[in-house]
Amino acid sequence: MRVTVIGTGYVGAVTGACLAYLGHRVTCVDTDPSKIEKLRLGQAPIYEPGLEELLVLAGERGGIDFDTDLTGPVRASDVIFIAVGTPPLPSGESNLAYLEAAARSIGAAMDGARFRVVVNKSTVPVGSGNLVDTLVREGIKEARPDFSGEVRFGVASNPEFLREGSAIHDSLYPDRIVVGAEDATTLAILRDLYRPLMEQKFTDPSFAPRPVKLTAVPIVTTTLTSAEMIKYSANAFLALKIGFSNEMANICERIGADVTEVMRGIGLDARIGTAFLNAGIGWGGSCFGKDVSSLVHTAGEYGLQAHILQASLAVNRAQRAIVIQKLQEKLYILKGRTVALLGLAFKPNTDDLRDAPSLQIAEKLIQMGARVRAYDPIAMDACREQHPELRLVYCNDALSAAERADALVLVTEWPEFADLNLRDLAGRMNNPVLVDGRNLFHPERAREAGFDYTGIGRALPRAGASRLATS
């Protein structure tokens, strides 16, 4: 099929590359010329493992090209994806300005030559499917007020569940595909589009192998509104799971338990599951905060108070402050101290800093008079560029970040940090305090290496208490 993907960020670039890899002919459109320029040169506009390799294969298979103008691509397409940003407004509402502009431009570009499906992949408040339909119609009218023919199109909601850092794997081997639409033609076209994914018959790329037992992917077809609600409920539930672990962690710390043991103990219950139960300094990223706030806002519009969702946001906010509290407990005074941060990205394997806990922690420390050194394997350039106001000393590696620091805070659990030589690290510091914000290190090993270690929800063993090794 001929496909246009509007927006080449974390979702659009990956979606476009995957659809072309599956054999569709794709044009990716973005209003940001620098992103299109990079893509034309074969460079990914964002850091996502495997994306550049996939772009090459996408070009060889279905074919992929890039444009700043959507008119030609939309006219030539059967399916048009909207994957533009929907960032939060200060009120918690989603900013739909980019979506509105994209939908109107799609309308303005459409003609009566064929039936087209406009698919909304951006996460938008419940009811936005109808809004896209209205905006496309308005776009058609504005562009050609005298046009009396019929412009045939359907609108679908196709929420995205990919995780940054494993976006290609998640897009090629999703747990499910959700499609919300109100008419059979639209659904049939999207079933055809996604058939290669549903049937899993394509050759898997070497850098993103198919999970061994995966033979088919279910498609869940719903109304537009249910599809939009599925996306919000999924993110709200995941945010809640992490928030729950964090609340348990805080209780564990007071009563002398270890939250990692407790979460393992509950996660093995099939009704609960082990994923998303890692306690830490709170979730971040472009989705959870924005989507939970947006759902709270939508509930409010209907006179409902979303108590659990509001609590989940509050728990996460409080959790981020824990790093500062722990540093104060260990160092008493932060003014004039040097604190080293390991990791800036909101999670490993991405350069995304949106709502990253690191930013809030760094800002607070600097405000309190501390000097902040930082190292991140990938996100330092993005941080320099997007947050020039943040007075961080960027370091070339973890060891140089730790040099003469009074405390080290593990903020992002990049896999390479797990292999650090802790003795070396502690040896370089003024004061070997380690706040392990993601419970990455083994507490006893870190203490043996010379660190004054504190994790999240991991109480110090009582004097004389023997601990059995857990596996």
Q: What is the per-residue binding string for ligand NAD in 192-211, x denoting contact by CB under 6 A?
A: --------------------
CA distance 81 to 95: 18
> Least Å distance between CB 303 and ligand NAD?
26
Tokens 């951006």 appear where?
122
From the candidates 18, 28, 287, 395, which is the catalytic residue?
287
- State the binding string over 8-37 for ligand NAD (x if CB under 6 A, else -): xxxxx----------------xxxx--x--
- Nearer to ligand NAD by Cβ, of 232 and 451: the residue is 232
Contact by Cβ (8 Å): 281, 411: yes
For ligand NAD, the binding residue among 101, 198, 331, 390 (CB under 6 A) is 101
Residues 61-90 that bind ligand NAD (CB under 6 A): 83-86
When CB distances to ligand NAD are compared, the closest residue is 9
* Cβ atoms 405, 379 nearer than 8 A: no
Q: How far is the CB of 78 from ligand NAD (least distance, A)?
A: 19
Residue number with CB closer to ligand NAD (24 or 35) = 35
Q: Is 200 left (phi over 0), alpha (psi -120 to 50) or beta?
A: left
Residue 91 region by backbone torsions, left for phi larger than 0, else alpha for psi between -120 and 50, else beta: alpha
Q: What is the DSSP string of 57-78?
A: HHHHTT-EEEES--HHHHHH-S
Q: What residues between 255 and 294 interact with ligand NAD by CB under 6 A?
A: 286-287
User: Minimum distance between the CB of residue 200 and ligand NAD, rounded to whole angstroms?
Assistant: 21
x-or-dash pattern for ligand NAD, window 310-349, by CB under 6 A? ----------------------------------------
- How large is the angle between the packed helices 288-301 and 307-331, nearest 10 degrees? 140
Element (H, E) at 50: none
For residues 384-393, one letter each, b for 16 or more C-beta atoms within 10 angstroms of the residue's C-beta and e for the rest, the string is eeebeebebe
Nearer to ligand NAD by C-beta: 353 or 434?
353
Q: Which of 77, 122, 171, 412 binds ligand NAD (CB under 6 A)?
A: 122
Cβ proximity to ligand NAD: between 128 and 454 the closer is: 128
Mark 144-183 with x for binding to ligand NAD (rule: CB under 6 A) and - for no binding. Answer: ----------------x-x-x-------------------
**Which residues are within 8 A (CB) of 399 and not within 5 positions of it... i.e. 6 or more apart?**
424, 425, 428
Cβ at position 234, least distance to ligand NAD in Å = 10
Cα 456 from Cα 16, distance rounded (Å): 39
Burial readout 289-307 (b: 16 or more C-beta within 10 A, e: otherwise): bbbbbbbbbbbeeeeeebe
Q: How far is the CB of 287 from ligand NAD (least distance, A)?
A: 5
**Closer residue to ligand NAD (CB): 85 or 357:** 85
d(CA 188, CA 79): 12
How many residues touch ligand NAD under the rule CB under 6 A: the total is 26
**412 lines the binding site for ligand NAD (CB under 6 A):** no
- Rounded to a whole number of angstroms, the minimum distance from the CB of residue 31 to ligand NAD is 4
**Which one among 53, 98, 318, 321 touches ligand NAD, defined by CB under 6 A?**
98
Q: How far is the CB of 124 from ligand NAD (least distance, A)?
A: 7
- Whether 54 contacts 21, CB under 8 Å: yes
* Contact between 7 and ligand NAD per CB under 6 A: yes
Choice between 122 and 358, CB closer to ligand NAD: 122
Question: In angstroms, what is the minimal distance from the CB of 103 to ligand NAD?
Answer: 9
Q: How many residues does the chain have?
A: 471
Q: How far apart are CA 200 and CA 165, in angstroms?
A: 22
Nearest approach, Cβ of 270 to ligand NAD (angstroms)?
27
x/- map, 369-398, ligand NAD, by CB under 6 A:
------------------------------
* DSSP helix/strand/coil, 438: coil
Q: What SS3 class is residue 112?
A: coil
CB closer to ligand NAD, 98 vs 394: 98
The amino acid sitting at 384 is R
3-state DSSP call for residue 222? strand
Under 8 Å between Cβ of 167 and 138? no
Question: Active site includes 18?
Answer: no
Of the two residues 74 and 340, which places its CB atom closer to ligand NAD in the complex?
Answer: 74
C-alpha to C-alpha distances, 240 to 58, 251, 371, 379, nearest whole angstrom: 37, 17, 33, 26
Q: Is 100 in the site for ligand NAD (CB under 6 A)?
A: no
In the bound state with ligand NAD, the residue whose beta carbon lies nearer, of 101 and 318, is 101
- Nearest-CA neighbor of 155 among 81, 94, 231, 229? 81
Q: Which residues form the interface with ligand NAD (CB under 6 A)?
A: 6-12, 29-32, 35, 83-86, 98, 101-102, 122-123, 160, 162, 164, 286-287
Q: Which residues are catalytic?
A: 287
